[in-house]
Amino acid sequence: MSDVAAPDTSSTYFDDRLDTHTRVSNLEVAGILWRALKLLSAARGLFLSKIALSFVALIPGLYLSWLAKIVIDQVLLQQPFDQTKVPFPPHVAPFVDAIADLSPMGIMAAVTGLLFVLLILFGREETRASFSQGEDSATQSENAISQGGSGTSGIVGLVETLVQVRISQRLTNRLRTELFRRMGRLPMTVLDNHRIGDAVYRVMYDAPMLPQMCYRATLEPLSALVGAAISLYMIGYSYGDVAPELVWAACAVIPAGLCITVPFSGLTRRVQQQSRAAGSATTNALEESLGNVSAVQSLGGMAREKERIDARSSESFRRYRFVKLVELIVGFAGLGALAVFGFWAYVFITDQVIDGVLTPGDWGVLFGLGLSLGFTALSVGTFWIELQGNAAAVRRVFFFIDQPVEDPGSDSLRLESFAGTVRIEGVDFRYPDGRQALKGIDLELESGQLVAIVGPTGAGKTSLAYLIPGFIRPDAGRVLFDGRDIQEVDVDSLRDQVAYVFQEHMLMSESIRDNLLMVQPDATQAEVMQALATAGALEFVRALPNGIDTVLGRSGDTLSVGQKQRLCIARGLIRNTPILILDEPTAALDPQTENALVQALRDASRGRLVIVIAHRLSAVRRADRIVFLEEGEIRGIGSHEALMADPTSRYRRFVELQGGG
């Protein structure tokens, strides 16, 4: 189709790292659509009610034009019913029969009564549940999440709109919860590459485009076509004899609309995708800048950040203008076609009225039916086009849902009991950018030990530790838990055995208690206190005004780094797993605190395997075994004394350097 434009430059324009192939064909759009529709099962009951209600909402269209005709011909112009050449359609005939003998004002009274009934039930205009929105893709999503509307107002319109708002919300919630869940299961290497702002954008602003896509693909064309069929039937029934040309023309309107608008679909999709990617880049910039505001301020980067967001935001606005422009062009192309049809109808119908074949009331009927047919044609014509914008957004969501996640599959073993022996056999690992991190690692670790992994920065200590809970998978070799290759073990059951305390201290802005309960929701108060005590955090937590219920600020900024570190250690301890791994647990601690913590860890290692990554000797000295790592290879294993006893060992040289400071 029109997919022959310039090469896709979005990856350089916007800062997507993973999602760089954003072009999709019409066929892929159909695939995305099919997937979206399958999600509708989440709201099956509501959706069926919505369909039923939207058919009910077509009822006023069956009557209003004819009532208007009666008012003009029989009331205002006082023509008797039997003079008309145009038969009333069957559903109107009983009403006409009932009022045929009344005086003009009697007829008017009957029509007025019927109109009142219709008013209470259906109101007089359409209903939309939307509020103001901004001028780019992100700021319009809020309405899309709670999209709802009805072709009518009154009681039916109220119910129909509210039902639809609920369907939209349920679909969005289901999709974004799924997206949220899946993003948490992406491998570490993917997460390192992925930006937080982009994730926020996909969850908050892309996911809401799903329900609209579902409506646009099912409900809207369905009720439009049924409405069109009804209009065509009425035109055919009443005017088929007197003016058959009208019927032919009415039938041609819809295909004509399609022909004019479909060629724009590729263009629409592309500008939409770019608008969303630009929005993502803006969110990224906002997030990064606000999330690191202390760094930005202390480095004097405020002006720079402002410029960056200025540029990103105006790019996002500019891209949205392209979307708008394409929309306007498509819309007016369709309207133009409709105007040509309308002009022909104007000439044709007035001719018939002048010739006395049709009455002024017929003009009213035909004008009303023709108008609704015309707009149906427009909406059917732009059907595929309008889906493109949604498809662009929903594709961005599916892209992440489709990322390979860590679960090896349902047939994997669950690690039920675990005695605590970890064997690492001949493991090699390379970073995604090709640098060798580990080579030929052989190691056996047992429960009841405090093991220290020691080595200079960049030696591969963290990579080695990452192998154990399966954060990274070896390129060669195996990791065995009690003799079972973890490659075949269910990831969840594997991580149930391992608690990992990272070097960065990430805490949620919730209470300290909630931060601990996050990883172990059913821990008792005593267990929480015990974990805090072991990590040496109990004392300062108690000193806080609200104690354990103190709510932490953004990323725990009200605590010092050492305090946050101890809370993170407590969070690792509370899960009470057979394996505990701590990455540089003491880097920010003063000697006394560190001393106490190392002792506590020694105590904790009874009955479990504790692995400490460190380059500082104070933390290492009391380990049962030391694994000395250098340049991705193990260059010594043994106790501190044993390793020091060898005058040529790399470890001894490392220790001497540190002591000599």
Partner 1 sequence: MRGCRIVSEAISATGSPDEQSTLSPQELGRLVLRTWPYMRPQLRHLVAWIVARYALELVFLVATLIAFDLFNNKILLGEKLQPDQAVLLQLDESYVRAPDTLGVGAEEEAAPLDALFDDTDDVERPLDPAVTMNTEQRRVVRNRLGAVFAIAAILFFLLGPTIDYYRTWILQRVNQYLRVTMMERAEHLSLRYHSHARTGDAIYRIYQDSAMITSVVERAVLEPVVAVGHVVFSFLVIWLFSPILGGVYLAGMLPIIMLVVWFTPRLQIRSRRARTANSALTSRIQEAFAAIRIVKANRAERVMGSRFDGDSRMALDAAFYLRTEFILMRVLVVVIAGAMIIGTQYLMAGWTIAETPTFLAGAVALVGFSVWNLGTFQAANSRNEEFVEAGSELIGMWGVIQDLGVGLDRAFFLLDLKPDIVDADDAVPLPAPIREIRFERVAFGYDPARPVLDEVDLNAEAGTITAIVGGTGSGKSTLMSLLLRLYDPDAGTIRINGVPLVGIRMESLRAGVAIALQQNTLFATTVADNIAYAKADASRQDIESAARVACADAFIREMRQGYDTELGERGGKLSTGQRQRLSIARAIVRDTPILILDEPTASLDAETEHAVLENLSDWGRERIVFLITHRLSTIRNADQIAFLEDGEIRELGDHESLMSIPDGRYRRYVNAEVQIDASELPE
Sites for partner 1 among residues 606-635 (CB under 8 A): 615-618, 620-621
Q: Applying CB under 8 A, does 414 fall inside the site for partner 1?
A: no
Nearer to partner 1, 228 or 565 (CB): 565
Ranges assigned E (strand) in 330-458: 422-430, 436-445, 450-454
Bridging pattern class, strands 476-481 and 625-630: unpaired
Q: Which amino acid is at 244?
A: P
DSSP 489: B
* Residue 551 within binding range of partner 1, rule CB under 8 A: yes
Does position 561 interact with partner 1 (CB under 8 A)? The reply is yes
Segment interacting with partner 1, rule: CB under 8 A, options 2-10, 22-30, 223-231, 567-575? 567-575
Residues 150-169 that bind partner 1 (CB under 8 A): 153-155, 157-158, 161-162, 165-166, 169
- Judged by beta carbon, residue 188 or residue 259, the one nearer partner 1 is 188
Binding residue for partner 1 (CB under 8 A) from 45, 483, 591, 607?
Answer: 591
Instruction: Work out whether 410 is an interface residue with partner 1 (CB under 8 A).
Output: no
The minimum distance between CB 27 and partner 1, in angstroms, equals 31
Query: Least CB distance from residue 523 to partner 1, whole Å?
Result: 12
Q: Are strands 625-630 and 633-638 parallel, antiparallel or unpaired?
A: antiparallel
Token pair recorded at residue 531? 């974990």
Closer CB to partner 1, 123 or 257, in the complex: 123
Out of 498, 535, 548, 573, the only residue in the binding site for partner 1 (CB under 8 A) is: 498
- Which DSSP string do the residues of 529-584 spell out, in sequence order? HHHHHHTT-HHHHHHSTTGGGPBP-GGGTTS-HHHHHHHHHHHHHTT--SEEEEES
Residue 293 interacts with partner 1 (CB under 8 A)? yes
- The stretch near partner 1 (CB under 8 A) out of 45-53, 55-63, 197-205, 221-229 is 197-205
Confirm or reject binding of residue 430 to partner 1 (CB under 8 A). no
Alpha-carbon gap, residue 366 to 75, rounded angstroms: 18
Q: Which of 30, 59, 62, 200 binds partner 1 (CB under 8 A)?
A: 200
Alpha carbons 359 and 361: distance in angstroms, whole number: 5
Nearest residue (CB) to partner 1, 483 versus 660: 660
Work out whether 194 is an interface residue with partner 1 (CB under 8 A). yes
Q: Which is nearer to partner 1, 457 or 525 (CB)?
A: 457
310 belongs to the binding site for partner 1 (CB under 8 A): yes
Q: Is 301 in the site for partner 1 (CB under 8 A)?
A: yes
CB of 467 to partner 1, least distance (A): 13
Pairing state between β 498-501 and 579-583: parallel
Q: How far is the CB of 395 from partner 1 (least distance, A)?
A: 20
Q: Which of 35, 473, 484, 652 binds partner 1 (CB under 8 A)?
A: 652
Tell me how far, at minimum, the Cβ of 24 lies from partner 1, in Å: 26
> Interface mask (CB under 8 A) for partner 1, residues 2-31, using x and -?
-------------x-x--------------
- Residue 26 or 618 having the CB closest to partner 1: 618
Neighbouring CB atoms inside 10 A of 328's CB total 10
Sheet containing 476-481, strands listed edge to edge, beginning at the edge strand earlier in sequence: 436-445, 422-430, 476-481, 484-485
191 makes contact with partner 1 (CB under 8 A): yes
Residue (110 or 226) nearer to partner 1, CB: 110
Instruction: Select the span of 23-31, 35-43, 265-273, 503-511 touching partner 1 (CB under 8 A).
Output: 503-511
- The DSSP string of 600-656 is HHHHHTTTSEEEEEESSHHHHTT-SEEEEEETTEEEEEE-HHHHHHSTT-HHHHHHH
Residue 646's φ and ψ, nearest 5 degrees, are: -85, 110
User: In the complex with partner 1, which residue's Cβ is closer, 4 or 521?
Assistant: 521
Q: Which of 234, 264, 262, 266 is nearest to 250 (CA)?
A: 234
Report the distance separating Cα 604 and Cα 599, nearest Å. 9
Report the distance separating Cα 520 and Cα 9, nearest Å: 45
Can you tell me the distance from the alpha carbon of 485 to that of 280, in angstroms, rounded to the nearest whole number?
Answer: 40
For residues 485 and 462, what is the distance between their CA atoms, to the nearest angstrom?
Answer: 20
**What is the C-alpha separation between 136 and 277, in angstroms, rounded?**
12
Please state, in angstroms and rounded to a whole number, the distance separating the CA atoms of residues 288 and 299.
Answer: 14
Query: Per rule CB under 8 A, is residue 115 in the interface with partner 1?
Result: yes
Q: How far apart are CA 37 and CA 208, in angstroms?
A: 14
CA distance 393 to 208: 9
Q: Find, among 58, 57, 62, 63, the residue nearest to 163 by Cα.
A: 57
DSSP E strand boundaries for 551-592: 579-583
Which residue lies nearer to partner 1 by CB, 7 or 660?
Answer: 660
In the complex, the smallest distance separating the C-beta of residue 583 from partner 1, rounded to whole angstroms, is 8
> What SS3 state is found at 484?
strand
Would you say 287 or 425 has its CB closer to partner 1? Answer: 287
Is the CB of residue 167 less than 8 Å from the CB of residue 349?
no
Q: Does 71 bind partner 1 (CB under 8 A)?
A: yes
DSSP character string of 43-89: GHHHHHHHHHHHHHTTHHHHHHHHHHHHIIIIIIS---GGG-SSPPP
**Rounded to 10 degrees, what is the CA torsion of 588, 594, 600, 605?**
70
Residue with tokens 């002792």: 599
Taking CB under 8 A as the binding criterion, the range among 43-51, 373-381, 473-481, 549-557 that sits at the site for partner 1 is: 549-557
Scan for tokens 């399966």, then name that residue. Answer: 470
Name which position in 452, 594, 625, 627 contacts partner 1 (CB under 8 A). 594
Toward partner 1, which CB reaches closer, 104 or 477? 104
Using CB under 8 A, pick the residue from 97, 101, 135, 646 that binds partner 1: 135
Least Å distance, CB 463 to partner 1, is 9
Q: Out of 1, 93, 252, 329, point to the residue binding partner 1 (CB under 8 A).
A: 329
Scanning 229-237, 305-313, 479-487, 524-532 for contacts with partner 1 by CB under 8 A, the matching segment is: 305-313
Strand ranges (E), 238-390: none
Check residue 387 for interaction with partner 1 (CB under 8 A): no
Residues in region 349-368 near partner 1 by CB under 8 A: 350-351, 353-357, 359-360, 363
Residue with token string 């803006």: 282
From candidates 203, 228, 250, 452, binder to partner 1 by CB under 8 A:
203
Contact residue for partner 1 among 40, 43, 57, 136 (CB under 8 A): 136
Which one among 244, 336, 426, 440 touches partner 1, defined by CB under 8 A? Answer: 336
Which residues make Cβ contacts (< 8 Å) with residue 312, sequence separation at least 6? 278, 281, 282, 284, 285
Amino acid at 101: D
Of 2, 20, 25, 112, the residue at the interface with partner 1 (CB under 8 A) is 112
Q: Determine the interface stretch with partner 1 among 53-61, 93-101, 145-153, 211-219 (rule: CB under 8 A).
A: 145-153
Nearest to 323 by CA among 137, 140, 462: 137
Residues 218-277 that bind partner 1 (CB under 8 A): none
- Give whichever of 24 and 439 is closer to partner 1, judged by the CB atom: 439
**Is residue 102 a contact point for partner 1 (CB under 8 A)?**
no
Selected from 3, 560, 603, 646, the binder of partner 1 by CB under 8 A is 560
Are the CB atoms for 628 and 461 separated by under 8 Å? no
